[in-house]
Structure 1
Amino acid sequence: MGIIAEAPKLIRAGFWAMAGCGTRPGESLALSDESMEWERSILAVDHQVSAYGCQEISGYRRGVKRGTKHRAFEQARKTPVPESINEIFNDHIDAFGTWGDRGWFFESPRLNDRHPSYDWFLDQFKAAAKLAGTPQYTPKSFRHFFVSEAIHAQIPLFEVASWVGHRTTRTTELVYGHLVRRAMDRGARTMHNRLGLKLEPFKGLIVPPSLTPSEYDIEDWDDVA
C-alpha cells in the first residue's frame, strides 16, 4: 500500500494489477479496455510492453507487442480480476481515459499515443519503494503476493499456474514449494476432519481386500466389459 501511494497516479492501476491479478510489469503496462471482460471480471493477458521486438504494432523497437512470456497471442491466458481492482481500473479510465484502437490504459507521460517505457515503469516502482521505506521490494514481489495468497486460499495449483502464466505447475512448485507443502498439510487435515472417522474401535478388525478375485468378481467384470 505504501509503494502504491508513492507511485505516480498515472500508473498506480498497473501496480494494482500486479498485486491483484498476478500480471508481470510489461503485461500490466499493456492493459486495455479490449482485454477486459468487465461483467465477468476477467482479464485476458495477451499483450506486453517490452524493451525489444515491438516493431509489429508500435512501429518502434520498444513498445507493445502481441503475446506474452511463453505464449503467443493466440494462447492468451485469463486471470480473475477482484471487484476492488475492477473498480480501480474504472477509476483510472475515468481519470485518464484510454487511447489507441484497443483502448490502452497507460500512455507515455512524454509522448502521445505511445506506451510508457518498460524501463520507466521499473524506475518508478523502484523510486516509490524507496520513498515508502521498503526498497527491498520489486515488481516481482507484488506478483509473489498474488500467488502466495492464492495458494494460502487453497486454490488448485493448476489454476494458479494458469493465471500467472507459468508453463507448468512445476514452475509454481519450485518457486512456492514451501507454501505448496503447507497446502498439502492443510488438505490432509481438512479431509481427516471432514471424513469424521473414529478408527480406534475398528483397530485390528479391518480386513484387507482379497488380492485374488473371486469367480463372481470375474463374471461381473465380463458383464461390465
Structure 2
Amino acid sequence: MLTYDVQIWSIRTRKDRPKPFELRWRVGPRPHSKSYKLKAQADGRRSELMTALRNGQQFDEDSGLPADELDALNTPTWYEHAKAYALMKWPKVAAKHRASIAEALAVVTPAFVSSSRGMPDRALLREALYGWAFRATLTAETGVVSRADAETPPPDVAEALAWIAKHSLKVTEAAKPERMRAGLDALSLKMNGQPAADNTAARKRMVLSNAMRYAVERGTLATNPLLRIDWTPPARDDEVDFRYVPNPKQTAALISAVRQQGTRGAHLAPFFGCLYYAAMRPSEAAALRKADCHLPESGWGELILAGSRPEVGSGWTDDGASYEQRGLKRRARKATRPVPIPPVLTAMLRDHIEAFGTTEDGHLFRAARGGRVRSTEYCDLWDIAREQALTKEEEGSPLAAVPYSLRHAGVSLWINSGVDPVEVARRAGHSLTVLFRFYAKILRGGQSHANRLIDKGLSTDDEG
C-alpha cells in the first residue's frame, strides 16, 4: 500500500556490527532499516529517500521504497516482456504469423541490451531467440509456455538465452527514444547489413508497436513510445523487376520442361500452370480441390478458390504438421475468389484429373510420398526446367528464378492485355494498393493508350 506517511531518522552507528551504519525509516506503521559498511553509503541512501519525500512521492509500506523505485523494481525486462507478448499472441494467430512475430522479436531484442560485452554470436543468438524463447509449446500441466521453459535447450542456446536475460534492459529503458531508434534500425536491416524490403521492415515494426501496446495494456508504460518517434525506414523499391518475369513463350517452354521430367513432372506441370494462367499463389494451388474446379470440355473454365495451405515449420502449428489449412490471404475465413481460367489451363486440369485422379480428400496435387506437395519438391523440378528451357545467359540471370515468378508473369499478362486493374486485383486476390505498388511500371505503360482514348473523347466532344 502506498502512503505519504513517512518518517526518516538519522543514521545510527553500531560499532559491534560488520555494517555499523544503520539507516532507519518508517512507512505508515511499518519500520524499515538497512545497514552499510561506510557512513557515506548510508548518508547517500538517506539523501535519496529524503529527495523522494520532498518531491511528493508516496512510499510503499511493504518494501519501504519510494513509488518510482518500486515501479522500476517491478518493471519486467524487455526480454521477459517479449516472451510474455509472444505467449499471449500464440493461441490467437496463424502459424505463419507466430513465426513472423518470433522473427521480429528475435531481430529487435539484441538492440535492447545494457552492454554488448560477451554477446554471443549474432546468428546463434537470433536462432536461440527465434526457435526457443519466442516459440511456444503446449504442455498438459501449464498450457502454452515458451519452448525454452518446456524443454532443455542445447548448451550453446542455453548460454545465449542466459546472456540476453542478464543484459536485457527494463521495458521503461527500452522505451526511450534513442533505444527505440536503435530497435527500428535493427528491424530495417538484414543479417548482412543490407536494407530489408519495405514490407518486411513495416511488418516487423508493426510487431514491435504491438508489443509496446501490450506494455501499455499491462500498465508497464503509459503510452506507446513509437508514437513519438519520427522514423522512416531506408528507401526500397518494391516494384517487380519485369526484366526477370518470363514472357508467355518462355513460360510455356518452362512448363513443358517440367512436364518432361517423368511422372512427377507430368503430375506437377498443371500446378505451375495454375500459378501462371490463374495467377495463383503456390499455397492456393496446393489447396486446390476437384470440387473447386469447373472444367468444361471446351472454352473457358473457372476455379472457385476457397483456401490455402501455406508451408510453415512444424514447430509453429498446433498439430505439428509442416503446413496449415487457412482461408484466402487477407480474406474472411470462408470467403471465396472465383477466377476464370483460359482453355489451355482448363484442358491441363482435365487431363491431370483423368491421369492422376485426386487425393482421398479431393486435392489435385500431392507430394511424391503423399500429403501436401512440398516447395522443395516443386522447386527442384523448376530448377531443372530452367536449365532445359532457358539459354545459358537467361539461366545465369534472375529470370524466372523461382516458381512465384509465374504469378508475377500472369498478372503482368493480364495488365498488358488491357484488363481493368480492378478486375486484375480481384482475380489475383490483391488490393488495388498492392497492385499499383508492385506493378506500377506496367500500369504506367498503359498511359499512352489511355491518352489516345481521352484524345478521341475530346475530339468527339469538339465535333459535337
Q: Normalising by structure 2, what TM-score?
A: 0.39
Q: Give the AA of the match of 1:70.
A: R
Distance 2:325 2:314 in 1: 5
SS of the residue aligned with 1:65? coil
Aligned residue among 341, 346, 351 for 1:91: 351
Offset from partner CA, 1:23-58 (integer Å, 9 cap, x none): 012212222111123357221222223222889xxx
The residue aligned with 2:425 is 161
Aligned residue among 134, 150, 175 for 2:438: 175
Query: Against the structure 1 CA distance between its residues 81 and 64, is the aligned structure 2 distance closer, same or farther, given a 3 Å change threshold?
Result: farther
1:106 aligns with 2:365: yes
**Aligned 1:115-194 pairs, distance under 5 A:** 115-133=372-390, 134-135=394-395, 136=398, 137=400, 138-166=402-430, 168-193=431-456
**Which piece of structure 1 moves more, 71-80 or 87-96?**
71-80
The residue aligned with 1:38 is 295
Offset from partner CA, 1:152-197 (integer Å, 9 cap, x none): 222111111111111x211111111121122233123124336643
Distance 2:329 2:450 in 1: 32
Over the aligned positions, Cα root-mean-square deviation in angstroms equals 2.8
CA contact (8 A) 1:64 1:115 kept: no
Q: Give the AA of the match of 2:267.
A: L
Q: Give the AA of the match of 2:343.
A: E
CA contact (8 A) 1:67 1:73 kept: yes
Query: Against the structure 1 CA distance between its residues 118 and 69, is the aligned structure 2 distance closer, same or farther, given a 3 Å change threshold?
Result: farther
1:3 aligns with 2:259: no
Offset from partner CA, 1:115-144 (integer Å, 9 cap, x none): 221332223223322332354312222111
The residue aligned with 2:72 is none
Q: Give the AA of the match of 1:159.
A: E
Query: Against the structure 1 CA distance between its residues 122 and 49, is the aligned structure 2 distance closer, same or farther, given a 3 Å change threshold?
Result: farther
CA contact (8 A) 2:310 2:326 kept: no
Q: Give the AA of the match of 1:47.
A: G
SS of the residue aligned with 2:325? strand
Aligned residue among 331, 335, 352 for 1:71: 331
Distance 2:333 2:295 in 1: 20
The residue aligned with 1:214 is none
CA contact (8 A) 1:54 1:64 kept: no
Distance 2:254 2:443 in 1: 28
The residue aligned with 2:281 is 24
Distance 2:340 2:312 in 1: 28
- Report the alpha carbon displacement of residue 93 of structure 1 after superposing the two structures with TM: 0.6
Query: Against the structure 1 CA distance between its residues 116 and 198, is the aligned structure 2 distance closer, same or farther, given a 3 Å change threshold?
Result: closer
CA contact (8 A) 1:158 1:169 kept: yes
Q: Please list every run of 5 or more consecutive structure 1 residues that lacks an aligned counterpart in the other structure.
A: 203-225
The residue aligned with 2:146 is none
SS of the residue aligned with 1:160? helix
Distance 2:332 2:384 in 1: 32
**Which piece of structure 1 moves more, 43-52 or 27-36?**
43-52
Distance 1:28 1:18 in 2: 7
Q: Give the AA of the match of 1:18.
A: L
CA contact (8 A) 1:66 1:72 kept: no
Q: Normalising by structure 1, what TM-score?
A: 0.76
Provide the identity percentage. 24
Distance 2:294 2:332 in 1: 20
Q: Give the AA of the match of 1:181.
A: R
Distance 1:126 1:71 in 2: 32
Query: Against the structure 1 CA distance between its residues 37 and 146, is the aligned structure 2 distance closer, same or farther, given a 3 Å change threshold?
Result: same
Structure 1 or 2, whichever has the larger Rg, is 2
Query: Against the structure 1 CA distance between its residues 130 and 49, is the aligned structure 2 distance closer, same or farther, given a 3 Å change threshold?
Result: farther
Query: Against the structure 1 CA distance between its residues 188 and 177, is the aligned structure 2 distance closer, same or farther, given a 3 Å change threshold?
Result: same
Count, aligned residues: 196
More contact order relative to length (CA 8 Å, sep ≥ 6): 1
